[in-house]
Chain A
Amino acid sequence: MQSLKQQWFGNIRGDILSGLVVALALIPEAIAFSIIAGVDPMVGLYASFTMAVTIAFAGGRPGMISAATGAMALVMVPLIRDYGLEYLFAATLLTGVIQILFGLLKVAKLMKFIPNAVMIGFVNSLAILIFMAQVPHFIGISNMTYVFVGITLLLVYTLPRFIKVIPAPLIAIVSLTIVAIFSGVNLRTIGDLGTITQTLPSFIIPDVPFNLETFKIIFPFSISLAIVGLVESLLTSQIVDDMTATESNKNQEARGQGIANIVTGFFGGMAGCAMIGQSVINVKSGGRGRLSTLVAGIFLMFLILVLGDLVVKIPMPVLVGIMIMVCIGTFDWTSFKYLAKAPRTDAIVMLTTVVSVVWTHDLSKGVIAGVILSAVFFVVKISSVKITQENNRYYVNGQLFFASTDSFIDFFKYNDFNSSTIQIDFSNSRIWDDSGVGALVKVEDLLKEKGIEVEVVELDASSKKILSKLQGVSSSH
């Protein structure tokens, strides 16, 4: 780990430049995710400001960008629709508290138990849901809408070839907004969907009754938000770790996400988390330290204060085009190869995760479904013991423990033996618990009744230890 001074000031020039780039790239996303959640663009913009600034200090992964995200916006849709904005702020606060608890409980270790199949399902279903959220904004509105979406996509994919310093989405927004204003075409704008206020966020206490009723409403959402936020944040931190070949403190990041969400809730923002896309942009643009995240947050707020009037004039089709680009970038395109090549069970887990998310519109439910299913597959796989025969020697393949004893015993119960002495070879196996020891004893008894003498060979040290410990006196043979 680098020293704190290194994390802040080890890369000043690169961090400032990349922070500016990220701020520009964040604006369209913060607005689009607000629209997905069903709130004013300001809620997402304030959240992006407070998340980035707080996480710069409190996070565990320098150079990672946190802000309002699509994954979180999708979870909060029903809460806002049914109960309103104030409940969102309250849920954001509670999300922060839960995440801090997760951080204190060292939840980063638990993240290791989320298999990659679930992670792949997570990013794919996120991409699918963000895309689905764009559909109502461009299908069947007007021909000009299609034209603008098309031109936006063309620009964002071709411009980076020629202009590398300024993010292509920003160039697309500025140029196409100007075209739209001066050509007078009739397009929906961001102003039609919400308002932009050119003021700094101020401290608020969510205007909800502080009672059990409220808690019951927001708690399920906060749990989902906390899980989704941590999954995406810890995944992002692994990606940034890999890109920069450095390490990060995952538990500190979990606590940091919690602190940032509490601050965000108190300043009228929606719950957020780390963003894969923006963090990749940051590292690619030269950002490595905490300063880059801080600059991104502050410059974003500055831009809104200065340019708020113009932001409302951005045509929706342009924003939709940029979001389609974000979806394409989020989706893991190697998944198709993965589906063909990965073990069947992994492929099923991945698809289950995607289907549950698309079905429930809640990424946390997909993660939970995926983890449970892969746990079941794991138990099924590990609890099967196969026995192979070579002359009088019977090889046990697999782990012998409470879940696998049946198949072990059944083999010896129903098999016919030609010889009066056999060897049971444990070189490919291990005895884990009292059930395993019991099964072995039972098999020895069974065979003795059939008049067959058994020799147990090739036990490893730990199996021998548990055998002698549990068999006690009878281990003398």
Chain B
Amino acid sequence: MYKHILLAADGSENAVRAAKEAIKIAACHEDSMIEIVYVVDFDQSKSDVLHSSSSEARNLERRKKIARVEQLIKESNVSYKVTFLHGTPGPEIVKYANEQQAELVVIGSRGLNSLQEMVLGSVSHKVMKRVNCPALIVK
């Protein structure tokens, strides 16, 4: 049984599929909790600040990006919480998962930025290599 499941979400279709798998696992046991983690990339901060009228508006806008994932989990009656992190997505997820001693990390195989992936390799691959717990990469 996995009590603390960390689900990385970035607003992509893959993240939604990852959420469905995370729910299947979490639904097995009522003590299981899914933590939706969204990383705000450092490079995103500047344009987000410029294009939002307040930090509240900014938070709402970011919350919308994970709305579908959140909705899915809510409907399945699995307990969950939402956490926003700031930094470079891959390393930040790894750092947080290890700090929080998550028992399972669920992540989509491919995110939003395919160009970056070609050059730098995928975020999911990096996370899988460096996280201390098992990782589930969802196609």
- Chain A interface residues toward B at CB < 8 A: 112, 115-116, 119-120, 123, 161, 235, 238-239, 241-245, 276, 280, 283-284, 332-334, 338
Contact = CB atoms under 8 A, between A and B. Distances in A.
A242 B40 contact: yes
B86 A244 contact: yes
A238 B49 contact: yes
B45 A239 contact: yes
B50 interface: yes
B113 interface: no
Interface residues of B, number: 18
B42 A235 contact: no
Nearest to A337: B51
A332 B50 contact: yes
Chain A interface mostly helix, strand, loop or mixed? helix
Contacts, number: 46
A116 B119 contact: no
Contacts of B86: 242-245
Nearest to A237: B49
Contacts of B101: none
B119 A161 contact: yes
Contacts of B119: 161
Contacts of A238: 49, 55
A284 B42 contact: yes
Interface of B: 40, 42, 45-55, 58, 84, 86, 119-120
Nearest to A112: B54
Given A115-B53, A161-B120, A243-B45, 6 more contacts: A116-B52, A120-B51, A238-B55, A239-B45, A332-B47, A334-B51
Nearest to B54: A112
25 contacts: A115-B53, A116-B53, A119-B50, A120-B50, A123-B50, A161-B119, A161-B120, A235-B49, A235-B50, A238-B49, A238-B55, A239-B45, A239-B46, A242-B40, A242-B48, A242-B55, A243-B45, A244-B86, A276-B46, A280-B42, A280-B45, A280-B46, A332-B50, A333-B47, A338-B51
A245 B53 CA distance: 17
Contacts of B51: 116, 120, 334, 338
Contact of B47 (A115, A244, A245, A334): A334
Contacts of B48: 242
A243 B46 CA distance: 9
